[in-house]
Copies of this chain bind each other. A is one copy, B any other.
Amino acid sequence: MGERVAILGASGYTGGELVRLIAGHPSMEIAALSANSKAGLAMSTVFPHLRHLDLPRLTTIEETDLSGVDLVFCALPHATSQAVIAGLPEGLKVVDLSADFRLRDPEAYRRWYGKEHAAPELQTEAVYGLTEFYRDEIRAARLVAGTGCNAATGQYALRPLISAGVIDLDRIVIDLKAAVSGAGRSLKENLLHAELSEGAHAYAAGGTHRHLGEFDQEFSALAGREVRVQFTPHLIPANRGILATVYVDGNPAEVHAALAAAYAGEEFVLVLPEGELPSIRHVRGSNYCHIGVVDDRIPGRAVIVAVLDNLAKGSSGQALQNANLMLGLDEGAGLRGVPVFP
């Protein structure tokens, strides 16, 4: 029995990760899998690690039978998603993993993504999918927009501090280190093993990364004024994981207290004892986010480090957590796998 779901765009890393997580879900069943470029193939051809699972064959989106489906995960590329979702049966619940519905403001979408949105009415309807902060809206939503994985990491570190008013909103630096799977399975020279292994570099530096649109939207809404952070993402030679080092002006004890209070009842976001910092190797493959705070030697400044697995808590795990809420299930179902270390 259980809830029946479909995954559109199942041949990318987030699609494969959704299958992995749902396979361990006690009451969710995969009814359909689509991937236009791989239609007709068995999922085990595209992802041999799923070989032992009994999964539907990949179909094109057009062919995909959504009758009897309770919820659709949409793991399609940015810009493709909005058109597909607009064409889905009315009333079908949707969790979108693309960037298409993260920004509520059409003008902001245009600025960060360089084009008009194809479904502006859905843009307004969509609920921003950062589970711990939009839980009630997500429960009631028809369409939830998965957050950017970098955007999620930075927000876990900063939202409670902005809400609590314990930091200077004009002096926020997010220096982020991201593993390579966040860039997806696309064929780009700088994602080749020979280029990336033993490398490390900043990209989209100086305030040009699209996830800044999410920071701007969310932090400004929280603060009730415009907030602009500095944000430099770096690619590091690892497969999974994001580590955000966040520099703030604020009393470190207050910073730690605000985070501890905000996440006190949360199953998947853990605040470490003051002075301890986390590592991406301790959340790999899991839905957990670890956050630590240290005092800087300069009085009145604190350093926060937040880590999560970009494919899990940063995208597919978040998507499943939201789907659980939308379907009235146990929020953590399928998400309690322990991190894989080493």
Contact = CB atoms under 8 A, between A and B. Distances in A.
Contacts of A341: 16, 20, 47, 49
B342 A177 contact: no
Interface string A196-210: 111111110111100
Interface string A1-25: 0000000000001001001100110
Size category, A interface: 35 or more
A340 B285 contact: yes
A232 B297 CA distance: 11
A298 B229 CA distance: 8
A188 interface: yes
A219 B227 CA distance: 31
Interface stretch (A68-76, A142-150, A273-281, A320-328): A273-281
A279 B239 CA distance: 16
Given A13-B342, A236-B236, A338-B50, A285 B282 contact: no
A201 B243 CA distance: 8
A197 B183 CA distance: 15
Interface of A: 13, 16, 19-20, 23-24, 47-53, 171, 173, 175, 177, 179-181, 183, 185, 187-189, 191-203, 205-208, 212, 228, 230, 232, 234, 236-241, 243, 245, 247, 267, 270, 272, 277-286, 288, 290, 294-298, 301, 303, 305, 311, 336-342
